[in-house]
Structure 1
Amino acid sequence: MIAVIIACEIGFWVLLLAGLLTRYVLRRPGLGAALLIAVPLVDVLLLAVSAIDLRGGGEAGFAHGLAAVYLGVSVVFGHSMMRWADERVAHRFAGGPAPTPKPRTGRAHASLERRGWVRHFLAYALAAAFLALFTVIAGGLERALPIWHVMAPWGIVLVIDFVISFSYTVAPRRSVSPSRSA
């Protein structure tokens, strides 16, 4: 199961890069779009393999929990990762505009951090939904309890991320002005 997760992560990046390079370097936007449309199919494949394994009597364990985490993160952050890569490849190979830098100070930075935490929370909630689905498929909580163990450490990370992300709302980063020499 871990090998399938690793293969899906590799497949995500291979399809993404192949789609972008086909679009911008080979100048085949239709084929590039088809490859990019296939990127979410990697998630569908992982979901199917996990469900089939659990339904077929596979032992519910850490790997299934990790698959749920991967799916939650991929669904919530996948589009923005694709957009991030698209901006950079378009700029590098097709004369597109330079990517806009993220704000590093002030209210704009604080807002960016809060939105990032909300997306992190959504990924956590979606992973929990996948775990609930896997629990039903596995035949109940008694059999599927080990897959839920991934949520406790992630919950701690989520709380730490909340504290850091929202601290910028209370105390925004200030821009550092160069010191004047006399």
Structure 2
Amino acid sequence: MNFVAWMIVSCEVAFWVVIILGLTVRYLLRKERLGFLLLAFTPIIDLILLIITGFDLYRGSIATPAHAIAAVYIGVSIVFGKSIIAWADERFRYYIVKQGDKPIKRYGNDYARHYLKSWLKHVLAYAIGIGCLFGLIYLVQDPERTEALTSTIRWWSRVLGIDLLITIAYFVWPKKAPIRHKNND
């Protein structure tokens, strides 16, 4: 595995470590500001990854799928980072600290609308990630060295289209709540 691939793995691990550490400090140690500061550190992890990826390509490396995945990771993390933190926060409060409401499960049109909002976020993550990919392609200025980046643009475009079809399907065939059986003991 090359250096950039290791950095992606390291950044993903660091992202979750910072979230867990931030929530632990916030709720278990009751240090609200320090917990917020740790949670606010997550975008800096993305910036570090972008700088490392750009520098690696700038100094002559041939783009690999790892370089492309770094751009995808950055777009997804920037757009979904806040909602991922909110998701983790809600579950941490309920399951670990035993406070707050139980996380809700969505069904029917509520689930479909929620998934549509998620798809719109996917579009924004796509725009940011594709912007990073085009920026890296422009930085390198060598189509042979950036084929992995242009290939990622093509497959991510297909993934975005498939996600749109899934989104539409949830409106046509809404997700049903599980059937609860009466316990006849």
TM-score bin, normalised by smaller chain: 0.7 to 0.9
Aligned position for 1:51? 54
More divergent stretch after superposition (43-52 vs 133-142): 133-142
CA distance in 1, matches of 2:95, 2:159: 35
Distance 1:173 1:10, change over 3 A: closer
Aligned position for 2:147? 145
Does 1:17 find its partner at 2:44?
no
Equivalent pair of 2:91/2:103 in contact (CA under 8 Å): no
Equivalent pair of 1:54/1:138 in contact (CA under 8 Å): yes
Q: Which runs of 5+ in 2 are unaligned?
A: none
Q: Deviations over 1:61-89 (max 9, x none)?
A: 22111111111111111110001011111
Secondary structure at the counterpart of residue 143 of structure 1: coil
TM-score for both structures, normalised by structure 2:
0.86
Aligned position for 1:85? 88
Aligned position for 1:135? 137
CA distance in 1, matches of 2:101, 2:53: 40
* AA in 2 matched with 1:160: I
Aligned position for 2:165? 163
Does 1:26 find its partner at 2:39?
no
Q: Aligned-pair distance for 1:104? A: 1.1
Identity, % of aligned pairs?
35
Aligned position for 1:119? 121
* AA in 1 matched with 2:101: A
Q: Which runs of 5+ in 1 are unaligned?
A: none
CA distance in 2, matches of 1:125, 1:61: 20
Aligned position for 1:70? 73
Distance 1:173 1:92, change over 3 A: closer
Distance 1:169 1:21, change over 3 A: same
Q: Aligned-pair distance for 1:178? A: 6.5
Equivalent pair of 2:90/2:103 in contact (CA under 8 Å): no
CA distance in 1, matches of 2:9, 2:181: 49
Q: Aligned-pair distance for 1:115? A: 1.4
More divergent stretch after superposition (17-26 vs 121-130): 121-130
Q: Aligned-pair distance for 1:175? A: 5.2
Secondary structure at the counterpart of residue 99 of structure 2: coil
Q: Aligned-pair distance for 1:157? A: 2.5
CA distance in 1, matches of 2:30, 2:181: 48
Q: Number of residue pairs matched?
A: 179
Distance 1:20 1:147, change over 3 A: same
CA distance in 1, matches of 2:95, 2:110: 27
* AA in 2 matched with 1:80: S
CA distance in 2, matches of 1:176, 1:21: 33
